[in-house]
A and B are shown apart, each in its own frame.
Chain A
Amino acid sequence: MSRLFLLVFTLALTVAQPAAAAGKLNVIATTEDLASLARDVGGDRIDVEALARGYQDPHFVEPKPSFILKLNRADLLIAVGRELEIGWLPPLINQSRNPKLQPGAPGYLDASLTAKILELPSGQITRAMGDVHPQGNPHYLLDPGNGRRIAQAIQKKLSEMSPNDAGYFAGRYADFDKRLAVAEKRWDGQMAPYKGMKIVTYHRSWPNFADRFSLDVIGYIEPRPGIPPSPSHTFELIQEMKRQGVKIMLVEPYFDLKTPNAIARDTGAKVLVMAPSVGGEKEITDYLGLFDYDINLLVAAIKQVGAK
């Protein structure tokens, strides 16, 4: 019995591993935003794939074994960091059997290290505050400035890993930087009339967006991060929204619309399902498209409700 077992096991171990595809770097990003930035810089010299979909809550992704296979074959893993993926990425990395991606290894790029991070908690934090992120808000990609910084970090990393293509990556980055600068001017123009406008959001996904485009987030539909809406909090929020004349609510595509719609009926505010990530809606296929989609949607809604 034990001999048979050993025989079967040795056979299983000796099945040859497939040879790695030559040349192209295999990049896995945890979210579609990061995948899009990597694609912008890496072009056709890299293969990129995202684990979480853009319309999925990035805090609660299932660590499926199919993801283990993807990480197993990856040369580079780009993660959002700031504990966004703490509930699902560590076991995937552990089981990836890929020394390149282990903590501290060169194939692990934490995108947040070069980003501008908001809501860094100061003082004692406890879970009584909900599912707080002790290292700051991880939804930082909604500031185009951070997109630029991360694209640059990716360019640097790819050039290190594939020095022969360094010139190509530098050219792609310069082009992305230029396109982003033009787009930013356009977005700033669209958003300029609404500086200081008061809004409410479901989760704390939008601080960087609000900071960049000077919106004032006065409240959240969640009483605390990760805690579902409660009647008393909703009631208080409705009073506050009426008092301050809030007409816009931003909701991520993965939240139930029941409470936001109830608030909308009571306050006359409009519920906007904005995309927090590339892939949040089918037509959002890249990072620039994400802001185009969100800003067009927001501006149209503001015009409709006539908010100030």
Chain B
Amino acid sequence: MRSFARLMTIVLASAWLSMAQPAFAQQSGGSQGGTGALGAAAAQALRAEVDRLRQEFEAVKQQYGDRLAALEARLKTMDAAPAATVDVPSGAGGAGGPEGALPVYGNASILSKVFNPDMAVIGDFLGAAGANRVAQTPALEMHESELSFQAVVDPYARADFFLTIGPDGGIDVEEGFLTFTGLPGGLLVKVGKLHSAFGKVNQMHNHILPWADRPLMTENLVGGEEGISDAGISVSRLIPNRWMFLEATGEVYRGQSAIFRAPSRGDLTYVGHVRGYQDLGESTNVDLGASVAYGHNGVTPDATTRLIGVDATFRYRPLRRAIYRRFLARTELVWSRRSELAAQPQSFGAYVSGEYQLGRRWFAGARFDYADRASNPSLSDKGESLILTYWPSEFSQIRGQLRRTRYAEGTTANEFLFQFLFSIGAHGAHTF
């Protein structure tokens, strides 16, 4: 502001000087040709004129300077004024909600800001190098952009939405569901589009997987990246006992997912899951699960698919060094039985995976894969991966994965996958 005033003064002054100078020259040129007395009188008049102009200019300058100073003072008081805030209504706070005072940026929309859901965007950038003639993925792609919106609906329920935008721009509701948290009888009910509770990997979003890809078992038998994800109702309950955490989940789905396809309205998909968990000490625990999924596969009006899964996880994380050291070993086994036109192919798939935290920011892992093809158990694929992950912070990860896949056709693919994961927005809770 002040430098602008100075610039204006210089511009005005130089403009005035450049206008005045030619006039001077003309006048003096004229005076040379005229008589001495006339010249002196003219010079005096000119001097008076110059003085008058100078005074006028000084007055204008003073006037502008005063105005600028006043404006600057006003700006300063505006900066110093405290930002308007509004108190969060009581009851809106609590688990993760805003509390205390929130700044108000505009007007009028004070309340809509308070009740906005927690929002976040998670980017999943995936690259691949090496040859794969069976299942080729792009060299570089923005594999997924996930938008999440999460909030409490009312005293009885909360809602969670996860929208994903794929590499080709299509938007999809990955999950969008209502959870009733205040039900009697120890029930937890979810309604909406869900990742079904079949096993472990099926429930995980891409960005929380410890790998850049999904196991061959998932690809061949459990519907690939989409998995068993469908519109339905999930009811789960803790089963009280004196030994361990035991939870039973029962789910009913419409029958429209990557592996289930209902020929008619009544052909629903059913999923059941039992999870047992026990602390072995403060640092170690085991997590066991058994799952079943059953539904029509759409090959013929009566054809069905039945999946049975077993999963086991062992975790070690010393509490005192929890941010530096952890180890997780996990295996999942799936048996698939499909009824098709004539045959009843029975296939098996499994993976074993381990993940070890080397330091605050480094994780190393390995995975072994085996999976029959769902419709032809005589064809089976095998694979091994080595994974190294770097965490610049809690909100981003960089991962490299060396993957060898030995396909049933006899080809072997050696690939290097790399992934950048990054999240902005509300601090999402870490899943267990």
- A binding-site residues for B, Cβ under 8 Å: 1-2, 5-6, 8-9, 12-13, 15-18, 53, 55-57, 60-66, 68-69, 72, 79, 81-83, 86-91, 93-97, 99, 102-105, 108, 110, 112-113, 122, 127, 130-131, 135, 226-228, 253-256
In the complex, what distance in Å separates the CA atom of A91 from the CA atom of B118? Answer: 14
- B binding-site residues for A, Cβ under 8 Å: 83, 91-100, 152, 155-156, 158, 179, 181-188, 235, 237-240, 245, 247-248, 250, 268, 270, 272, 274-275, 277-279, 282, 285, 287, 292, 294, 304, 306, 315, 317, 319-324, 360-361, 393-395, 424, 427, 429-432
What are 28 sample pairs from A and B whose C-beta atoms fall under 8 A apart?
A: A2-B270, A6-B250, A13-B235, A53-B282, A56-B320, A63-B429, A64-B285, A65-B245, A65-B247, A66-B245, A68-B245, A69-B238, A86-B96, A86-B429, A87-B429, A89-B429, A90-B96, A93-B95, A97-B238, A103-B94, A103-B95, A104-B94, A110-B99, A131-B393, A135-B99, A226-B393, A254-B321, A256-B324
User: Is the pair A127, B361 in contact by a Cβ cutoff of 8 Å?
Assistant: no
User: Is the pair B294, A2 in contact by a Cβ cutoff of 8 Å?
Assistant: yes
- Chain A residues in 8 Å Cβ range of B322: 56-57, 60-62, 254
In the complex, what distance in Å separates the CA atom of A5 from the CA atom of B269? Answer: 11
B99, B268, B304: which has the most chain A beta carbons within 10 Å? B99
Instruction: Output the least CB separation between B254 and chain A (Å).
Output: 14
Among B91, B239, B306, point to the contact of A1 (Cβ < 8 A): B306
In the complex, what distance in Å separates the CA atom of A53 from the CA atom of B319? Answer: 8
In the complex, what distance in Å separates the CA atom of A168 from the CA atom of B182? Answer: 31
In the complex, what distance in Å separates the CA atom of A99 from the CA atom of B185? Answer: 11
Among B185, B239, B278, B320, point to the contact of A12 (Cβ < 8 A): B239
Given A97-B183, A102-B94, A56 and B319 touching (CB < 8 A)?
yes
- Chain A residues in 8 Å Cβ range of B182: 99, 102, 105
Instruction: Output the least CB separation between A261 and chain B (Å).
Output: 15
| Residue of B whose beta carbon sits closest to that of A72 | B238
- Chain A residues in 8 Å Cβ range of B93: 103-104, 110
In the complex, what distance in Å separates the CA atom of A102 from the CA atom of B166? Answer: 35
- Chain A residues in 8 Å Cβ range of B282: 53
In the complex, what distance in Å separates the CA atom of A1 from the CA atom of B304? Answer: 11
User: Is the pair B188, A95 in contact by a Cβ cutoff of 8 Å?
Assistant: yes
- Chain A residues in 8 Å Cβ range of B294: 1-2, 5
In the complex, what distance in Å separates the CA atom of A122 from the CA atom of B101? Answer: 12
- Chain B residues in 8 Å Cβ range of A256: 321, 324, 360
In the complex, what distance in Å separates the CA atom of A161 from the CA atom of B49? Answer: 92
Among A9, A63, A82, point to the contact of B430 (Cβ < 8 A): A63
Instruction: Output the least CB separation between B166 and chain A (Å).
Output: 26
| Residue of B whose beta carbon sits closest to that of A105 | B155
Instruction: Output the least CB separation between A136 and chain B (Å).
Output: 8
User: Is the pair A64, B279 in contact by a Cβ cutoff of 8 Å?
Assistant: yes
In the complex, what distance in Å separates the CA atom of A9 from the CA atom of B414? Answer: 45
- Chain A residues in 8 Å Cβ range of B323: 57, 60, 254-255
Instruction: Output the least CB separation between A273 and chain B (Å).
Output: 11
In the complex, what distance in Å separates the CA atom of A103 from the CA atom of B317? Answer: 30
Given A18-B240, A68-B245, A103-B152, A127 and B424 touching (CB < 8 A)?
yes
- Chain A residues in 8 Å Cβ range of B285: 64, 66
In the complex, what distance in Å separates the CA atom of A104 from the CA atom of B92? Answer: 7
- Chain B residues in 8 Å Cβ range of A81: 99
| Residue of B whose beta carbon sits closest to that of A108 | B94
- Chain A residues in 8 Å Cβ range of B278: 66
In the complex, what distance in Å separates the CA atom of A110 from the CA atom of B282? Answer: 26
- Chain A residues in 8 Å Cβ range of B99: 81-82, 110, 112-113, 135
- Chain A residues in 8 Å Cβ range of B270: 1-2, 5-6
